[in-house]
Structure 1
Amino acid sequence: MALARLKKRRRIQVVALAAVALVVSTALIGYAMRDGINFFRSPSEVMAEPPRADEVFRIGGLVEEGTLVRGQGERVSFAVTDGGASVPVVFTGVLPDLFEENQGMVGTGRYVDGTFEATEILAKHDETYMPKEVVDALKEQGVYQAPEAGS
């Protein structure tokens, strides 16, 4: 009888320990991923509802013509637009080779004091590629033009 109670108690302890380990591991995974999840916003969404200064997110659209300014060293400023709104962007670093005005781009960073401070800039892969989020945002604004076949 005592042996049965001891086995039952040991089984309950093992199950309780496993449940605690599962809760702790889930909490640690969630904590580790909190900075890895970046939401996408179009320039119109950023201007309509500006995010908090500590929120990291992705912004995408077209590099607005006439706004690309190269500063001292690797500092670059430009505006990204979706046809409905423009957001000024600053970036310090090396831009991708395919980065240019009137081309699609996606940037990761924070919106601070009316300027998107990018930590990473991605440009299109080839003449026809544009990220799905950017295409969707441009379609919503009615400014998306599908690439011509064969070009």
Structure 2
Amino acid sequence: MKGLKKQRRIQIIALAAVALVGATGLVGYAMRDGINFFRSPTQVVEDPPSQGEVFRIGGLVEEGSIVRGQSETVTFRVTDMNESIPVAYTGILPDLFAEGQGMVGTGSMIDGTFQATEILAKHDETYMPAEVVDALKEQGVYVDPNKPES
């Protein structure tokens, strides 16, 4: 009788372990295209992404860099005040998108230009995406807009 209980317990534990491994595998498989890593322009220059790799880039829209074409394609440069990356986006930009403001784009590098499929802009005059703030702080150029000047 004791041998049967022990055998049953081992079977349940083995079945639970197989189910856990299977569930983890399914979640990983389902998320493989949904995980986009954030990079600053400096990180993109120092460690270029592989061809076709989808990632997020963020920084400030460089002053004087926005060029609106005949179609819906807009080109501009995104900078972290250390490096600058050209960006091309076809579509309608957010209303709050402007030069000198924070932005985050999702897309991939093609021939040295970041081809964005999505552009996110700041929410108000003081908001900047957390990833952009972290990248600017890492470069030592972040200035807190809420901090009074001394």
Compute the TM-score of the two structures, normalised by the length of structure 1: 0.85
Q: What CA deviation, in whole Å up to 9, does each residue of 1:15-51 have, x standing for no partner?
A: 4333322211110101112222221111111111111
Partner of 1:142: 140
Q: Distance in 2 between matches of 1:141 and 1:5?
A: 64
Partner of 2:27: 29
Alignment of 1:9-48 (within 5 A): 12-48=10-46
Which one-letter code corresponds to 2:83 in the other structure? Answer: A
Q: Which of the residues 30, 50, 61 maps onto 1:52?
A: 50
Q: Distance in 2 between matches of 1:7 and 1:82?
A: 63
Which one-letter code corresponds to 1:86 in the other structure? Answer: S
1:127 aligns with 2:109: no
Query: Could you list the runs of 5+ residues in structure 1 that have no partner in the other structure?
Result: none
Q: Distance in 2 between matches of 1:112 and 1:53?
A: 7
Partner of 2:112: 114
Q: Which of the residues 60, 76, 79 maps onto 1:78?
A: 76
Give the match's secondary structure for 1:98: coil
Larger Rg: 1
1:86 to partner: Cα distance: 0.5
Root mean square deviation, CA, Å: 2.2
Q: Distance in 1 between matches of 2:32 and 2:78?
A: 26
1:14 to partner: Cα distance: 4.3
- Count of residue pairs brought into register by the alignment: 148
Alignment of 1:88-103 (within 5 A): 88-103=86-101
Give the match's secondary structure for 1:136: helix
Give the match's secondary structure for 1:107: strand
Query: Could you list the runs of 5+ residues in structure 2 that have no partner in the other structure?
Result: none
